[in-house]
Structure 1
Amino acid sequence: MNIAISTAPAARARISSQWLVITVFLAPAVVLLAIFLLYPLLSSLRLSLVDWTGLGTHSRFVGLANWAHLAQDTVFWRSLWNNVILALASIVIELPISLALAVLLEKAGRGSRILKILYFLPLLMSSVAIGVLFKNIYDPNFGPLNVALRAIGLDIFAQDWLGDTRFSLASTIAVICWQNVPFYMILFLAGLSSLPAELNEAARLDGASEWTIFWRIKLPHLQGAIRTAVLLAVLGSLRYFDLIYVMTGGGPEGSSELMATYMYRTVFSSFQLGYGSTIGSAMFIIVSLVAAIALRMTRRYETEV
């Protein structure tokens, strides 16, 4: 009895010291999250309730008027639809190409080192540099793309790729996919490298073809990487900004407008900080909902290898 009483204070002291260590190590991360995530989020929500140009100190409280305007804003809904198209293109185009390249490079073995470096180069380039590069490539008069088409007699296919509302979004999506494919390729390569070689050898000894090995062994093994890739592709597409802004600025006539570019123009070109904050807050809500739904759906279809 006396031993139990004497050890109780020691146990409490040990638990207190553990909580102190946990608090000390977590405090910097919590402070940084509060400064760079929580405060901007709350500030954006607060600004979405006011009418303010962002200049001076005079702002007018308008309540939910900005949100009511957002619900009827056709430009916002069009930009959201363009984000959805970009997300679908990222899944349908980027991920299959990345997976195919990863499987081919994994089979190539040591001889694929140079190819891996070459394929990874687009991801190392600045998005602004890529935007300027392809803006020149797409130039309707002197761009290499149209020059090549005219040189081989395909003048009918030469277009104003970024200045025509029919092609501007598709042209920018093609560049985005080209830039992002290496990232998902490396992600899938990492997943394939963790697959035990004994499984492949055992399947080959049993007479399984490469196609069967891919569908029955490699693809199920990559389900975690695929789930992560889908989530990153969707969330990245909903927040995309830089390359679109450099290449088209959201034009022409809003045909390539995204939520982020619309928010930027609203705040820094139209000087509507209150309404721009409303667009930013709406983006946060949409991205959070999509992330929650995507995580739930991908976990539902998860199977064990």
Structure 2
Amino acid sequence: MGKKELSLAAKRKQDTRRAAFVFLLPIALLMIVFIFYPIVDTFYTSLFKWNGISADKTMIGLKNWVKLAKDTSFWTAFKNNLVVMVLSICIQIPIGLALATFIDFGGKKMTIFKVLWFIPLLMSSVAIGFLFSYALATNGGIFSAISKIFGGGNIDLLGNPKTALYTVIGVIAWQFTPFYMVYCMAAYTNVPTDVYEAAIIDGATKGQYFWRVALPLLAPSIKSAAILSMVGSLKYFDLVYVMTGGGPGTSTELMATYMYKQSFVKFNMGYGSAVAAGMFILISLTSLITMRILNGRKKGDA
């Protein structure tokens, strides 16, 4: 009887492994073809001088990497990415949490706000880029029109190197804050209703409930949202490219826009691949460091 039970358990494990293999195989193949192979090929291409079109490639070793390490334009783009990352986290997540809290505390009568506030996320980034390019134009833009009403002149937010990056960050925040609103609303559903009821029965106000009860329970979700915002901020491309093209000068240049220009505008695919590989390394390191800081040291770590 014992041997029969053992054989049945072994057969069940074998069937489970086979089922897991069958279901995971397509995903594994897709990841190899569309994720792992492109990453490896990018690092390999970075060792060549190549225009991306001709059949001949000239092996130049690590010269592209040496050039990348000394490229001030690339490091300026990385610095701009860090500014976008920090401000995106500081703007999008608190506002998203505030909107989610407003909707959660308001109940079903706040559904209309949920729909209205979610609209920016439904729009294409390219469409939003063109929309705000016209809305913020020097001649006829919103801020210039308001300035003229009060007797001022034109205001050029996108053409001024001192304000262009912050203007773009504001547009990015306008588009993606609804995502973090929905994310925080989903996190609120995991907070037990009896916790809220107990807090109210004990005499807590809604403000006290939020700061002392709900917020600590939402902390893991907020950390996950911060990591998502961070990774997304380091990969921004389409909206920035449409609005400013990385200009004026390099004031809004990001790593992705710089990589695109090197690869598909200047047709320097070898160096563009080095920039893309550098992006991969820097994003990975930044993500690991940020996750370490947010999660803190685990118990038992030295």
- Which range, TM-score by smaller chain? over 0.9
Equivalent residue number for residue 49 of structure 2: 51
Give the drift of 1:296.
2.4
Q: Does structure 2 retain, via aligned residues, the 8 Å contact 1:52–1:59?
A: yes
TM-score by length of 1: 0.92
In the alignment, is residue 76 of structure 1 matched against residue 74 of structure 2? yes
> Given residue 241 of structure 1, which amino acid in structure 2 is its aligned partner?
F
Equivalent residue number for residue 108 of structure 2: 110
Give the drift of 1:302.
9.2
Give the drift of 1:17.
3.5
Q: Does structure 2 retain, via aligned residues, the 8 Å contact 1:223–1:302?
A: no
Partners in 1 of 2:120 and 2:298 — Cα distance?
A: 32
Partners in 2 of 1:70 and 1:223 — Cα distance?
A: 38
Q: Deviations over 1:205-240 (max 9, x none)?
A: 222232221111110111121011100110000011
Partners in 2 of 1:196 and 1:105 — Cα distance?
A: 17
In the alignment, is residue 285 of structure 1 matched against residue 281 of structure 2? yes
> Given residue 271 of structure 1, which amino acid in structure 2 is its aligned partner?
F
Partner-residue secondary structure (3-state), 2:51:
coil
Runs of 5+ in structure 1 lacking a partner? none
Equivalent residue number for residue 24 of structure 2: 26
TM-score by length of 2: 0.93
Residue 265 of structure 1, aligned match among 261, 265, 280? 261
Residue 100 to residue 302, structure 1, CA distance change in 2 (3 Å): farther
Equivalent residue number for residue 36 of structure 2: 38
Equivalent residue number for residue 148 of structure 2: 150
Give the drift of 1:110.
1.3
Give the drift of 1:12.
5.3
Partner-residue secondary structure (3-state), 1:253:
coil
Partners in 1 of 2:159 and 2:13 — Cα distance?
A: 66
Partner-residue secondary structure (3-state), 1:123:
helix
Equivalent residue number for residue 271 of structure 2: 275
Q: Percent identity?
A: 41
Partners in 1 of 2:189 and 2:10 — Cα distance?
A: 47
Q: Does structure 1 retain, via aligned residues, the 8 Å contact 2:143–2:155?
A: no
Residue range with higher mean Cα deviation, 204-213 or 76-85: 204-213
Give the drift of 1:13.
5.0
Runs of 5+ in structure 2 lacking a partner? none
Give the drift of 1:161.
1.2
Equivalent residue number for residue 207 of structure 1: 203
In the alignment, is residue 234 of structure 1 matched against residue 230 of structure 2? yes
Equivalent residue number for residue 220 of structure 1: 216
Partner-residue secondary structure (3-state), 1:222:
helix
Residue 55 to residue 218, structure 1, CA distance change in 2 (3 Å): same
Give the drift of 1:74.
0.5
Give the drift of 1:293.
2.1
Partners in 2 of 1:14 and 1:129 — Cα distance?
A: 53
Equivalences for 1:168-183 in 2 at 5 Å?
168-183=164-179
Residue 301 to residue 187, structure 1, CA distance change in 2 (3 Å): farther
Equivalences for 1:236-255 in 2 at 5 Å?
236-255=232-251
Give the drift of 1:19.
2.5
Partners in 2 of 1:301 and 1:100 — Cα distance?
A: 29
Residue range with higher mean Cα deviation, 197-206 or 266-275: 197-206
Partners in 2 of 1:302 and 1:214 — Cα distance?
A: 27
Give the drift of 1:10.
6.3
Equivalences for 1:188-207 in 2 at 5 Å?
188-207=184-203
Residue range with higher mean Cα deviation, 99-108 or 242-251: 99-108
Q: Does structure 2 retain, via aligned residues, the 8 Å contact 1:137–1:143?
A: yes
Equivalent residue number for residue 136 of structure 1: 134
Q: Does structure 2 retain, via aligned residues, the 8 Å contact 1:50–1:63?
A: yes
In the alignment, is residue 299 of structure 1 matched against residue 299 of structure 2? no
Partners in 1 of 2:257 and 2:32 — Cα distance?
A: 26
Partner-residue secondary structure (3-state), 1:165:
coil
Residue 273 to residue 107, structure 1, CA distance change in 2 (3 Å): same
Partners in 1 of 2:132 and 2:297 — Cα distance?
A: 38
Partners in 2 of 1:88 and 1:130 — Cα distance?
A: 22
Residue 88 of structure 1, aligned match among 79, 82, 86? 86
In the alignment, is residue 187 of structure 1 matched against residue 183 of structure 2? yes
